[in-house]
Chains A and B, each alone.
Chain A
């Protein structure tokens, strides 16, 4: 096996074993990071592989979170599977609707309109009665993971939640990897490198971009759902443009156009935040300086240092 693959398996094993040794607080922290990794992966599809820089991706994360918070009944627990499916569907639909507008425009305009639409969603949740207002919603009960009356695991138990999220992360990762190797995924990457050429080859570029946008939104909604599920709490700030900026940061930390990069970026982002907050209350200064330095000196992100992973990912046949 290639060394890179071994390293990955070791990393996966570490992740799998972590809750057995870590204290509850750290288990929950890593769970949070894995949720952010799913969020970053969803954006990577859009930014890294389709070449569409969205500055409003937090909107779909928020929609997923609020879907759970709003669907959850007041006096009893919601069903995990039903609400999860609904959240992913609703987030995907929202992304589809917004996409129909935004995918028409390119470049700077695209960045700006995605931001603007995210702001619209933010205002819906912040200002309207439907969104329950600026203080957010807390759920009285965690969802229940029952199928046919059988309770599969307990979402009040941080370890169960951890493994659920780990499985979710793996599922999203494998799904995206398969998607990107498929003809659809190849077409997306073609669009990223040269849209005109793809169009002249006869590809319905608009539809491909729209599909990518919708899928990315649905996956972001998945992450948002898990986030609301973890703490039972949703707040309009989840849709703020700072969150959209943060997830872009994760991509550049990890390296754009690399699925592993998205995951690494999520871990790196949280690690940096924690490290810098430990050092000073003005940690945002350090973070800002780090980002600037990264852009100037290391545009490929951390994953560019591990170039092999990229090749492993795209999957030359002999790597299997």
Chain B
């Protein structure tokens, strides 16, 4: 900063005055800005991130945020030519607080787009409020079928998966492998039930039979009694849906009970994603289905992984991909309307029709705005979920009950 000695006072005074006038003009423009499309172009796009940053899902919230921001950075830090401003709320994975948290972003911070979340109960509340307030919502993770089913809306999108999709994929693979009987096991909550439902549908369509569906109360992790039951039932395969700590314990308990020697265990990717370190030997050889995996060799994925590691010094995972693609989807839409968020109809139309080059492969959206993508078959080898094949190509989860 130059001192007054180095600049002639008069020039400095003039410059100050000019700066003051400019500032006043900008301030006035800001205060009295009409919601006029032309002027709206200059304003920043407000993105509201409602994700878990504390608690069990904190790692997922951070991964999604990091990847989302990375995609925006790669787009020059802009959306449709406009700068981006982030508003962040920690949803703590608490559905009881979800309406308040969503309202903080929508009504207090007046965001243009709401992005989130991981926990399905929270996501459902967000979806309801997004519909009531006609806010654009992109869901980068929560898999509740309903959101792109009966509760679908023109302004709601999802870039992750639906719970039943992953089950459908594994059911098909198991039927193809000529397994005749299966037992399913999961927690008694919506995500588990949807996953099992998908598996059962395609497995039985392929000629198999689910002989028993086992449930235990959420979030209990005392599996022994049910493992004993499985041993007694002697199915050809066991399909299990657990995540986080429950997944670690289940896989370990399954192996400790010796069941993995005679009855193969399969499940959606969450059984072994992010948990291999803790599961160790007990998870080796497990087959899972997910729309992402280790060793996926396509140019976009390689570039994505390199960029993510460079920016954040840690490996990205399937959750990061969901966040990355949420941003990519938004970029497509914003480019189509040249940043004019008031042109909502065209914006969502462009997003609905988008064909995205995702790290997972190709990504498109179905009528309910749920992803149509390849579901991979992965096998645990060492500390990785190696992609060993494609379970189902371009799987769309039929949007039951969606009236779009």
Contact = CB atoms under 8 A, between A and B. Distances in A.
A–B direct touch in complex (beta carbons closer than 8 A)? yes
A24 interface: yes
A296 interface: no
Contacts of B188: 126-127, 134
A232 B120 CA distance: 17
B124 A135 contact: yes
A232 B103 contact: no
Interface string A122-148: 010011000001111010000000000
B129 interface: yes
B95 interface: yes
B121 interface: yes
Interface in A208-232: 230-232
Contact of B128 (A138, A237, A284): A138
A265 B129 CA distance: 28
Nearest to A231: B99
Contacts of B103: 25, 28-29
A24 B108 CA distance: 8
Contacts of A233: 98-99, 124-125, 128
Contacts, number: 81
A258 interface: no
Nearest to B101: A277
A32 interface: yes
Contacts of B151: 138
A123 B189 CA distance: 11
B128 A232 contact: yes
A237 B121 contact: yes
B54 interface: yes
B146 A135 contact: yes
Contacts of A29: 100, 103
B90 A136 contact: no
A32 to B, nearest CB: 6
Interface of B, secondary structure class, is helix
A83 interface: no
B53 A281 contact: yes
B193 interface: yes
B244 to A, nearest CB: 15
B300 interface: no
B121 A243 contact: no
Task: Determine the interface band of chain A, counting residues with CB < 8 A from chain B.
Answer: 20 to 34
A23 B129 contact: no
Contacts of B44: none
A281 B107 contact: no
Contacts of A26: 108
A233 B94 CA distance: 13
Task: Determine the interface band of chain B, counting residues with CB < 8 A from chain A.
Answer: 20 to 34
Nearest to A230: B99
Nearest to A128: B188
Contact of B95 (A32, A136, A281, A282): A136
B87 interface: no
A237 B96 contact: yes
A240 interface: yes
Interface in B70-116: 90, 94-96, 98-100, 103-104, 107-108
B10 to A, nearest CB: 45
Given A135-B124, A231-B129, A126 B95 contact: no
A23 B121 contact: no
Nearest to B192: A134
A139 to B, nearest CB: 8
Nearest to B190: A135
A23 B188 CA distance: 41
Given A126-B189, A235-B96, A136 B125 contact: yes
A240 B311 CA distance: 40
Contact of B108 (A25, A135, A284): A25
B223 interface: no
A138 to B, nearest CB: 4
Interface in B210-224: 217-218
Contact of B90 (A133, A138, A231, A281): A281
A238 interface: yes
A312 to B, nearest CB: 33
Nearest to B142: A135
B36 interface: no
A231 B217 contact: no
Nearest to B97: A237
Given A135-B144, A233-B125, A281-B54, A28 B107 contact: yes
Contacts of A236: 95
B350 to A, nearest CB: 28
B124 A23 contact: no
A25 B104 contact: yes
Contacts of A230: 99
A139 B22 CA distance: 50
Contact of B124 (A138, A277, A281): A138
A230 B125 CA distance: 12
Interface string A227-264: 00011110111101001000000000000000000000
B90 A277 contact: yes
A66 to B, nearest CB: 13
Contacts of B189: 126-127, 133-135
Contacts of A282: 54
A243 B95 CA distance: 12
Interface string B124-159: 110111001000000000001010000100000000
Nearest to A239: B96
B217 A127 contact: yes
B132 A232 contact: yes
Contact of A136 (B121, B193, B218): B121
Contacts of B121: 134-136, 235, 237
Nearest to A246: B96
Contact of B100 (A32, A126, A135, A136): A32
Nearest to B107: A25
Interface in B178-208: 188-191, 193
Given A127-B217, A134-B189, 11 more contacts: A24-B107, A29-B103, A126-B217, A135-B95, A135-B121, A135-B190, A231-B128, A232-B128, A233-B128, A238-B96, A277-B90
Interface of B: 53-54, 90, 94-96, 98-100, 103-104, 107-108, 120-121, 124-125, 127-129, 132, 144, 146, 151, 188-191, 193, 217-218
Closest 3 CB pairs of A and B: A134-B189, A25-B107, A231-B99
14 contacts: A29-B100, A32-B100, A123-B217, A126-B189, A135-B124, A135-B190, A136-B125, A138-B124, A231-B128, A235-B125, A237-B94, A237-B96, A238-B96, A281-B53
